[in-house]
């Protein structure tokens, strides 16, 4: 372990110290604290969802049980059962006795106490349809009656979706509590049905102040919903996927199961973090920032002075060793620096008295050899550079770094264009490839701020022009156009034929140029010469224009169209007969 550490640089040793003595302990402790906070908040949220679900169940249960008690009291009314078993001579006889019974019996008080509709279906042909009594055959027509028979129960809670009902005027979701009346000996079948007011029940459920989505389902039918609609068919599994947390409870009553779902979209971890922000900041300051600042200060105290020693010992020639100025501190490193200064002082004395002349001779010889070496290096085939770039590109592809490989490929295209000067002419197709490579690389610099489009007509691709002329104009558009503008910009490169001319356009949507700047640039282009270029800096555009003039025997025209804040468009027109084509 000691040997391993001895081979590490000082900075790497401090990095190891940061990681194992600060970062890892901090991450572990903070993770434990954060997990504890998260778990507590999660439990609180689930407890809250449980309470909401229980409130919904309690409300539904109280409504259903209340109606069941009323139904039981009605069914146990012996006077009512005796009245329904009577055989009436006529409808008028029935209604006379009906009104007398309703007004005087206990049945009226039971029915009047409810806002829901109570209906008794009787298999007694002498009874006429009235507010509370109807013939049994009318019940048999309803889907609810068939469902009740299939349940084979004495009483049942039946819920169904009435597709024929108008949602604006009628209830589409219907609650029926149905009970057989067979407690007393009877000459006919009797069936009690209470139409539970689903709208009132829904209002009671929605009175709870809850921001959580809620669904009360009966199978695939949503009976009630908060932040949703009552629908016939629903994929509850799909709804569950839309929410992160849920509580699911089942309420069973009189042969019917109701599924109550309460959802929460998120645990609001950000609010948790904000509520505990002072704790997090306190932990961050005392467990991360303070130790790191202290260790960084110590490292700087050590590494800065060691770097001075390293720089001093790395002198190219012994006579150029210089003493270290301003030796600070009183520790081992400062002692080492003082000893170094003593050695340098003695060394300079020896060099000045014994070896000065010999060193001068060696210096002259070294300069000569360096010149020879540079001459040899200049003869190295540039294909070495291309092969190296290709090796890097293939390595990136093998590593799956497609973006890096593409960047290296574009760089190789531009590099080959720059170094292969055996022929100064290049086809417009090759030049457009160099432009594309350059703009592709620039897109990594500007990001979304740079977009470009290159449009070269097929008939123009084989014309020969001086190498890197169009690239120079594109580079100028990037540097002086796109870079000077904070918003996104475009660069358009177009090459096309117009009558007898070959037209080359470079347009950018950058900062633009004023009329004075355009006039000054066009005057410089008209007066450009080799002597002018030699005496100036930043002559890229002038160099390209001069080479185009030389190549076309001055048969080239330049025009600039610009507006400040909008962009610049440079148009180069060359007669086609002044250009050669590649075979």
Of 495, 504, 490, 492, which Cα lies nearest the Cα of 558?
504
Q: Pairing between strand 245-253 and 221-226?
A: unpaired
Long-range CB contacts (< 8 A, 24+ apart) of 298-303? 299/10, 299/11, 299/14, 301/329, 302/10, 302/333, 303/10, 303/11
Q: Alpha-carbon distance 177 to 70, whole Å?
A: 10
Of 426, 490, 497, give the one whose Cα is nearest residue 456.
497
Query: 332-350 and 290-313 helices cross at what angle (nearest 10)?
Result: 10
Q: How many whole angstroms separate alpha carbon 75 and alpha carbon 181? A: 5
Q: Would you list the DSSP string of 212-274? A: S-EEEEETTEEEEEESS---S---HHHHHHT-SEEEEEEEEETTEEEEEEEEES---HHHHHH
| Per-residue model confidence (pLDDT) at position 444 | 78
pTM comes to 0.44
What is the maximum alpha-carbon separation in the chain?
152
With a cut of 70, list the residues of the chain below it in pLDDT. Answer: 1, 105-116, 161-173, 208-210, 227-235, 266-273, 314-321, 326, 328-329, 351, 354-403, 405-423, 534-539
Q: How many Å apart are CA 176 and CA 155, to the nearest integer? A: 10
Length of the chain: 583
Answer yes or no: are the C-beta atoms of 435 and 471 closer than 8 Å: yes
Structure-block tokens of residue 79: 């006077």
Pairing relation of β-strands 256-264 and 214-218? Answer: antiparallel
What stretch(es) of the chain map to CATH 3.30.565.10? 448-578
Taking alpha carbons only, the member of 529, 570, 531, 576 closest to residue 552 is 576
Q: What is the pLDDT of residue 96?
A: 86
Residue 126 is predicted with a pLDDT of 85
Angle between the N-to-C axes of helices 515-526 and 540-551, in degrees from 0 to 180, rounded to the nearest 10: 50
By DSSP bridging, strand 557-563 and strand 425-427 are unpaired
| Structure confidence at residue 365 (pLDDT) | 47
Instruction: Report CA torsion sign: 123, 127, 133, 139.
Output: positive
Kind plus residue range of the DSSP H or E element containing 92: helix 91-104
The full 3-state SS of 35-101, as one line of letters, equals HHHHHHHHHHHHHHHHHHHHHHHHHHHHHHHHHHHHHHHHHCCHHHHHHHHCCCCCHHHHHHHHHHH
Strands ordered across the beta sheet of 221-226: 221-226, 214-218, 256-264, 245-253
Q: Which fold has domain 448-578?
A: Heat Shock Protein 90 (3.30.565)
The whole-angstrom separation of Cα 83 and Cα 94 is: 10
Please give the pLDDT value at position 363.
44
């Amino acid at each position: 372990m000691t040997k391993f550490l001895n081979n590490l640089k000082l900075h790497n040793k401090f990095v190891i110290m940061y990681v194992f003595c600060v970062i890892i302990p901090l991450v572990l402790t903070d993770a434990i604290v954060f997990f504890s906070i998260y778990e507590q908040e999660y439990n609180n949220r689930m407890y809250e969802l449980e309470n909401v679900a229980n409130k919904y169940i309690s409300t539904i249960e109280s409504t259903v049980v209340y109606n069941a008690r009323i139904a039981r009291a009605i069914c146990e009314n012996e006077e009512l059962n005796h009245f329904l078993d009577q055989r009436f001579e006529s409808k008028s006889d029935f209604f006379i006795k009906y009104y007398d019974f309703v007004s005087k019996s206990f049945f009226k008080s039971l029915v009047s106490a409810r806002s829901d509709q109570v209906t008794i279906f009787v298999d007694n042909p002498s009874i006429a349809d009235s507010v509370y009594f109807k013939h049994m055959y009318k019940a048999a027509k309803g889907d609810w009656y068939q469902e009740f028979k299939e349940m084979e129960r004495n009483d049942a809670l039946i819920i169904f979706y009435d597709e024929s009902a108008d949602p604006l005027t009628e209830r589409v979701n219907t609650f029926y509590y149905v009970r057989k009346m067979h407690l007393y000996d009877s000459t006919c079948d009797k069936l009690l049905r209470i139409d539970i007011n689903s709208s009132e029940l829904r209002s009671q459920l929605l009175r709870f102040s809850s921001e959580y989505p809620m669904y009360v389902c009966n199978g695939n039918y949503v009976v009630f919903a908060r932040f949703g609609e009552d629908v016939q068919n629903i994929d509850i599994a799909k709804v569950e996927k839309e929410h992160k947390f849920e509580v699911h409870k089942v309420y069973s009553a009189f042969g019917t199961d109701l599924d109550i779902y309460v959802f929460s979209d998120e645990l609001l971890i950000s609010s948790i973090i904000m509520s505990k922000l002072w704790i997090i900041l306190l932990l961050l300051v005392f467990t991360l920032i303070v130790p790191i600042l202290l260790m960084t200060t110590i490292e700087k105290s050590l590494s800065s002075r060691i770097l001075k020693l390293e720089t001093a010992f790395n002198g190219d020639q012994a006579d150029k060793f210089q003493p270290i100025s301003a030796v600070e501190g009183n520790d081992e490193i400062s002692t080492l620096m003082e000893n170094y200064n003593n050695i340098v002082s003695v060394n300079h004395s020896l060099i000045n008295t014994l070896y000065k002349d010999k060193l001068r001779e060696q210096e002259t010889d070294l300069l000569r050899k360096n010149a020879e070496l540079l001459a040899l290096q200049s003869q190295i085939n540039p294909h070495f550079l291309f092969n190296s770039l290709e090796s890097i590109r293939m390595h990136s592809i093998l590593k799956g770094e497609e973006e890096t490989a593409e960047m290296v490929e574009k760089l190789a295209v531009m590099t080959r264009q720059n170094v292969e000067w055996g022929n100064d002419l290049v086809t417009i197709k090759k030049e457009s490839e160099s432009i594309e490579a350059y703009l592709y690389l620039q897109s990594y610099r500007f990001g979304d701020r740079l977009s470009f489009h290159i449009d070269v007509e097929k008939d123009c691709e084989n014309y020969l022009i001086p190498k890197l002329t169009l690239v120079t104009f594109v580079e100028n558009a990037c540097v002086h156009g796109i870079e000077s503008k904070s918003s996104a910009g475009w660069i358009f490169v177009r090459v096309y034929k117009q009558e007898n001319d070959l037209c080359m356009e470079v347009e950018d949507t950058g900062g633009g140029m004023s009329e004075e700047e355009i006039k000054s640039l066009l005057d410089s282009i008209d007066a450009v010469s080799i002597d002018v270029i030699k005496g100036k800096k930043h002559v890229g555009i002038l160099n390209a224009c001069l080479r185009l003039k030389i190549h076309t025997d001055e048969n080239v025209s330049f025009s600039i169209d610009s507006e400040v804040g909008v962009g610049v468009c440079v148009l180069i027109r060359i007669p086609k007969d002044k250009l050669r084509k590649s075979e």
